[in-house]
Structure 1
Amino acid sequence: MSKLLPYVCPKWAQNLNHIPKYRIQVRKLEFLMADAVSRKCGHVITCGGVQSNHCRATAVAARQLQLQPHLLLRTDVQDQSKIGSEGNLLLDRLCGSNMYIVPRKSPYETELKPRMETLAKKLREETGKEAYLVPVGGSNSVGLFGYITVFEELISQGLFDQFDDIVFACGSGGTAAGLAISNHLTGSRIRCHAIIVCDDKAYFTDHINQTLCSVGLDTVHCQDILDIIEGHKGRGYGLSTSEELEFIMNVSQQSGIMLDPVYSGKAARGLMEELRSNPDRFQGNRILFLHTGGVFGMYDGSLDSVVKAETKDLVHMWPSIDSSPE
């Protein structure tokens, strides 16, 4: 358990070792699911985009703990028959998740959270079991500790000695809050940069300041411990431009590193653009980019047209052993 946790961590989370079989190593969900188990819940409810990495990971973790997953998925699709089984949706379906389709622009506080509470009440009345509500991205004062432990891992791997800055995608604020708070508590000289892929700087500043207050750090302010970078979300959350998709293709061809269209792709491209247009925002040239996953989101079909166009000359027909490849 992280040496940082006693500063701000709830007592139940400091004693997770008493349930080692529930130690799901998926960052924020390790703590959120431990809380759900400790409360003896039978259901887990969360929300996100229709291709949400967080929702998929929650569904898998819930099934590993014999809990029933319920996912509120935002999309513009209004026809049930057109909700596919590609990308993260495939794993959602394989886990037997109950999926509730809601309008894509539904705000969390005014629409998603009330729906989750209504669903929890319905499940309690129908099954007699409580539901554990996980906010979008798992980003609250419980999930926060997943990235406090990440920061400790980075320290053990030489973060302070090898890097001046750390850059990462920001989609719900949990990763940003956990890393920035950890950086502050250690007195580190590393500078944290969150490249937002949805909403705006004002939203995340408010969210992270609320998180700081919720863990007793009300004298610390987001603006002092985190650089929130706007201008790189493109068309919006989960929506890609051709330039973004081409960037992902180029990175994979040149490095073998796979970036997803929703999070890591936008953030890595944003980092490159900031280095060109505003390099002074970084403390040095030793920059660590934290890849936070999202591989299943690559299989939603959005990359198909770019990949086929870029690789059409790499596909060679070879019908006969006696002929040369075409």
Structure 2
Amino acid sequence: MNLSLPPRIPLARLPTPLQPLDRITEKYSTPHGGPRLWVKRDDLTETAMSGNKLRKLEFVAGAARAQGCDTLITCGGIQSNHCRTTALVGARLGMRVQLILRGEEKGIPDGNLLVDRLAGASTAFYPARQYFETLPELFAHWCDFYAGRGHKAFCIPTGASDGWGIWGYIAAAEELLADCRAQGFEPEHIICATGSGGTQAGLTLGCHLLGANARVTGYAVCDSADYFQHKVLEDIRHWETLNSQSVDETSLDVRVNADYIGPGYAEAEEPVYRAIAEAASLEGLLLDPVYTGKAFYGLLQELRKGSYRDCENLVFVHTGGQFGLFPHREMFPFLL
């Protein structure tokens, strides 16, 4: 089946590479065997706008342009990869960007926040409680603010995870499956970090629409398995509404592993940082402690348990996030 995609603005460098992780595969093989590990390098979608958010924003920006919008409003944590990518996309397309950020501005900006500022995005900071309790009102406020100045805003939810954004990973599923076939295999498992649900929703729906047998599992970095199982289906329902499509939900296998969240969102413990260092030293693969590092650590623990021993090929989708690594530099004392 060939997917019929809606209008998009080409922004990412596609296709991204699919690479084997043979040193890590060898280290984490058990006496009972285990899969060959592969990584889909979506950290290479572009240099500064890198990561999974850019695939989503190709379709989101396409919808914004089609609706005559000149301003993008979105939200996230201070070190949000999605906000950083939106800021750079806006700069590239000549659109204003307003970021609604959760947390306090402290000291000299670092990581993603520094890039937000360099890209010219406007930033507004809110305490976590106010952010979570009044986010719809904050979006409405900034929409009115720009409308009062003659601008039309397009509102993008957390992580661009909605019926527009998941098109990015429906298309990515088609690309990934073609990559695997070119390497001579069909993946039994596809693994990704899940923090807002949209990447997992797109991969799950994409594999379903394409008739693939690959099982998609999201390793949660916050919230709970129940939350993400609901959120993935919510995004798919929104996609159905936007595209006048119908999907049999009972045929969707929404898998979430929430065993490796740790202390909470954007918080990790030493084993995660050690897994990040291990991936860098064995494979030259740079992960981050908020999303990919946490999910990859979880995957390695499951391999040790033998969870995937009956699988021949497993693909980890590297969703980017390296800019978020640097504000955590003090968490690597074991490297000194």
- The TM-score range, normalised by the shorter chain, is 0.7 to 0.9
The structure showing larger relative contact order (alpha-carbon pairs under 8 Å, at least 6 residues apart) is: 2
Letter in 1 for 2:11: I
Q: Does structure 1 residue 274 correspond to structure 2 residue 298?
A: no
Give the whole-Å Cα distance in 2 for the aligned partners of 1:84 and 1:35: 35
Deviation at 1:279, TM superposition (A): 0.7
Q: Report the CA distance between 1:103 and its aligned residue.
A: 2.1
Question: Is the Cα contact below 8 Å between 2:173 and 2:206 reproduced in 1?
Answer: yes
Tell me the number of residue pairs that the alignment of Structure 1 and Structure 2 aligns: 289
**Do structure 1's residue 298 and structure 2's residue 305 form an aligned pair?**
no
Displacement of 1:163: 2.2
Q: Displacement, 1:131?
A: 0.9
Please name the residue that 1:27 is paired with.
Answer: 55
Question: Which of residues 198, 201, 209 is equivalent to 1:174?
Answer: 198
Q: Equivalent residue for 1:193?
A: 217
Are 1:58 and 2:86 counterparts?
A: yes
Q: Superposition pairs for residues 76-115 of structure 1, below 5 Å? A: 77=104, 80=105, 82-105=106-129, 110-115=133-138
**Deviation digits for residues 86-117 of structure 1, max 9, x if unmatched?**
10011001012111112235565x42232112
- Residue equivalent to 1:316: none
Q: Does 1:3 align with 2:2?
A: yes
- For the residue of structure 2 that corresponds to 1:56, the secondary structure is helix
| Superposed CA offset, 1:285-322 (max 9, x none) | 4111110111111122x12341xx3343xxxxxxxxxx
Q: Is the 8 A contact 1:68 1:97 kept in 2?
A: yes
Distance of aligned partners of 1:283 and 1:141 in 2 relative to their CA distance in 1, 3 Å threshold: farther
Work out whether residues 196 and 228 of structure 1, in 8 Å CA contact, stay in contact via their aligned partners in 2.
yes
Provide the TM-score with structure 1 as the length reference.
Answer: 0.82
Quick one: structure 1 residues 185 and 150, their matched pair in 2 at CA, closer, same or farther if it must change by over 3 Å? same
The alpha-carbon distance between structure 1 residues 239 and 113, as it changes in their structure 2 partners (threshold 3 A), is same
Q: Give 1:253 shift.
A: 1.6
Gaps of 5+ in 1: 17-21, 313-326
**Highest CA radius of gyration, 1 or 2?**
1
Cross-structure match for 1:141:
163
Unaligned runs of 5+ in 2: 13-53
1:157 has 2:179 as partner: yes
| Deviations, residues 148-198 of structure 1 (Å, cap 9, x unaligned) | 111111122125824211111001011000000011112211111110101
Aligned partners of 1:100, 1:215: CA distance in 2, in Å?
Answer: 29
- 1:257-268 equivalences in 2 (<5 Å): 257-268=285-296
Is the alpha carbon distance of 1:176 and 1:107 closer, same or farther for their aligned partners in structure 2, counting shifts above 3 Å? Answer: farther
The aligned amino acid for 1:297 is G
Q: Is the 8 A contact 2:177 2:186 kept in 1?
A: no
Distance 1:117 1:220 in 2: 34
2:235 counterpart of 1:211: yes
Partner Cα separation in structure 2 for residue 140 and residue 221 of structure 1: 17
Deviation at 1:200, TM superposition (A): 1.0
Deviations 1:56-99 (A, max 9, x none): 00000011111111111112x3xx4x253110011001012111
Alignment check: 8 A CA contact 2:76 2:83 kept:
yes
Q: Distance in 2 between matches of 1:31 and 1:250?
A: 35
> Contact 1:44–1:67 at 8 Å: present in 2 too?
yes
